[in-house]
Each structure stands twice: as C-alpha cells, then as structure tokens.
Amino acid sequence: MQPTEQQQLPANNETLSNDLLLDMYRSMILVRHFDRRAVHLQRTGRLGTYAPLEGQEAAQVGCGYALQKHDWLFPTYREHGVSIVHGMPMETIFLYWNGRPEGCVPPEGVNIFPVSVPIATQVPHAVGAAWAAKLKGENQIAVGFLGDGATSEGDFHEAMNFAGVFKLPVIIFCQNNGYAISVPLSKQTAVETLVEKAAGYGVEGVRVDGNDIVAVYEAVSHAAEKARRGDGPTFIEAVTYRYGSHTTADEHSRYREAAEVEAWKAKDPIDRLKTVLIERGVWSDEQDAAEWERVDGLVQSAIDSMQATPPVPHDRLFEYSYAELPQELVEQRDEMRELYGKGGAK
C-alpha cells in the first residue's frame, strides 16, 4: 500500500492553539517511546507477544484529545496511544502485556474497556454502551476502535447496522494501516475505500489522513459533537501505516517491500507536527532532544513499576474459568500447590 493523496477533511493548522499542538506533540513522543521500549522488553523476554503501533501515533493521539474524560473507549490490542491519552497508566499497559490480569483494570473514572484480541468483537460492545447512554439520557459517547481487517468481520456489520438504525452516540474509528496481518487491503474488500461501507448502514462516513493529527482531531471532534447532539453515529477511516510488524510474532518484511515502508516514513506524523511547531517558532531541536529525554524517564519509571510487581501465583491458572473446579482440575491445582506452595510463585 503506497501512500497516496486522500480525500479528507481540510486540516488547517491555524485553527488549533500552539498550546494544544504542543501537548499533542509531547503525547506522540511519549507514545512512540513507550512503544519502542515495549518492543525491546518483548525481545528481551520481559513482555509477551506485543502489538506495535509506531507510525500510527497521530491517529490515536488526535482521537484521544478530541474526546471527553467520561467517554468510553473500546480498544483492540493496538490502542496503547489513545489509552495513555485517556488516562490509562503506562505501567498498567505494561502489566497487560506481561500477562497480568491487573493490566485489564483501569483506574477509577477511566472508562476504557479491556483489550480485545478477537477481531471486531469490541465494536458491538461500543455500540451497546452507546445505546445504554442514549437510554439513560447521558451526555456520553463510545468509541469502538478497529483495523481495516475488522471491516471484513460479521461483528462490524452488526454493529454498524445497529448503530445506524438506532442513531446511537458512537464513533467507529478505523485505523486503516493497509494490512490485516499480512493480507493487503485489496485482498479483503472490493471497494476502493473503507469509508464507502458506511453509506450501506445509513452512517456518516469520513476519511482522513491518519498521519495528520490536526485532521484526525477535527474529524473526531466533529463526530463527537454530532453524537452528543443526538444526530447519530460516524464511521471514521484514518488512513495510516504501521512501520513494524503486526505483532512481535510476525515478520513484515516477508510481505512488504522496504521501499513501501520508507515511502510512508516520509509522511511520519511526528516529523510533520514538529515541522509545524518549528515554523511557528514555538519549538526547537534543543527542546525536542530534552523532551525525548524527559519521556524516557517517564517510561522507565513505568517499566520499573511493572517489574516491581510481585510474580503471579502459579495457582491463578485455575481461577476465572469455573465457578466450581472439576475434580481433575482440583487435583492438578493441589499438585501444583505441593510443588510451589499455596499461591506461590518461584
């Protein structure tokens, strides 16, 4: 998937204040550094399989800044960026990828549903939350995140249809990075753009340059305001690109040419906003270097917190699946406790 000129909302950088752009820029740097450190932690055996997002920072951070604190997020496995912006602590996200159930629990008042690994199953959940908000008369919206591959799933159809029929306060936010793991967009849909699908459900569709944080912010802000007015859902297709593999269990060089990746890096979302800030005279290379150093300390602190968490007890394997354990599992649990002690972890 080569980058092309896209039909999109105009992104007039003069409409946003310097302070807001600087905040969003700092958040993108934080998210990228978090992501790179997470990949390193996985490669050194301190995290499990991880889904990188580098290249998609503008789509996620721009979306996050356009929402309100009480709105609900329904993420896939790649929404670390928007989750951080919405209030999920980095150490909690690290704990999730470290295999800890604590990683699924946001702080009080942070409305983020647990990560969804099955494809598109979180989108009906978002629609359900939006329906509940509408029935209760709450000024709250839900955002269901998905990738391009999820638009080929039945759950996507059901969610879009339901949202359209009942005019629900929901945003279906698709980060189209061109590949469903190794399957290119052209192999999973016959339409030229994913946003075309929205019309079939009576849902407004908007296509934006997902590497332009201002375009994303404006699109989500418009959709959120519309939803709060009671004017129904919006499907947003943010066209972006992941520089790395689908997950750390994947190898993207087997199905993508290096030239394609480099072409997209020329449209890097962080570099694009940095250029704007320098042109405005509110940022410099010296400030940039200092900011990368600052976020390194923040991310390292989150890593230290994750690593200081006590080991998971071995017998936790037997929790959460049954109200009452079958006898054969009771015997296995007891055998494990003989080896490690009750709740023990070695």
Q: What is the CATH number of the domain that holds 166?
A: 3.40.50.970
Taking residues 257-285, what's their average pLDDT?
97
Measured N-to-C along each axis, helices 269-280 and 57-65 cross at an angle, to the nearest 10 degrees, of 60
pLDDT level of residue 66 (50, 70, 90 thresholds): very high
What is the model's pLDDT at position 340? Answer: 85
What is the model's pLDDT at position 343? Answer: 63
Are residues 163 and 142 both part of a single domain?
A: yes
pLDDT at 11 over 80: no
Q: Convert the pLDDT of each residue in 91-137 to its tens digit.
A: 999 999 999 989 999 999 999 999 999 999 999 999 999 999 999 99
State the sign of the Cα–Cα–Cα–Cα dihedral 151, 50, 94, 99. positive
Q: How far is CA 52 from CA 39, 240, 244, 314, in A?
A: 7, 14, 7, 28
pLDDT level of residue 2 (50, 70, 90 thresholds): low
Taking residues 311-327, what's their average pLDDT?
89
Are residues 323 and 210 both part of a single domain?
A: no
DSSP assignment of 12-54 equals -GGGS-HHHHHHHHHHHHHHHHHHHHHHHHHHTTSS-S----T
What is the model's pLDDT at position 10? Answer: 44
Are residues 158 and 297 both part of a single domain?
A: yes
pLDDT level of residue 344 (50, 70, 90 thresholds): low
Are residues 79 and 187 both part of a single domain?
A: yes
Using an 8 Å Cβ cutoff, are 127 and 159 in contact?
yes
What's at 253, amino acid-wise? Answer: S
Taking residues 29-53, what's their average pLDDT?
97
Domain encompassing residue 315: 310-346
Are residues 323 and 248 both part of a single domain?
A: no
Is 4 a member of any domain?
no
Taking residues 9-25, what's their average pLDDT?
79
Taking residues 130-147, what's their average pLDDT?
97
Using an 8 Å Cβ cutoff, are 303 and 58 in contact?
no
Are residues 289 and 332 both part of a single domain?
A: no
pLDDT level of residue 35 (50, 70, 90 thresholds): very high
Is 324 a member of any domain?
yes
Is 230 a member of any domain?
yes
Are residues 62 and 83 both part of a single domain?
A: yes
pLDDT at 3 over 60: no
Are residues 198 and 344 both part of a single domain?
A: no
Q: Convert the pLDDT of each residue in 212-225 to its tens digit.
A: 999 999 999 999 99
Is 260 a member of any domain?
yes
Residues annotated catalytic, as ranges: 242, 246, 255
Using an 8 Å Cβ cutoff, are 306 and 328 in contact?
no
Is 1 a member of any domain?
no
Are residues 63 and 198 both part of a single domain?
A: yes
Mean pLDDT score across all residues of the chain = 94
Distance separating alpha carbons of residues 174 and 338, to the nearest angstrom: 49
Taking residues 56-72, what's their average pLDDT?
98
Total domains in the fold of the chain: 2
Q: Give the closest residue to 77 by CA, choosing from 188, 215, 262, 242.
A: 242
Q: Convert the pLDDT of each residue in 193-217 to its tens digit.
A: 999 999 999 999 999 999 999 999 9
Taking residues 2-28, what's their average pLDDT?
72
Share of the chain above pLDDT 70, in %: 95
What's at 264, amino acid-wise? Answer: W
pLDDT level of residue 1 (50, 70, 90 thresholds): low
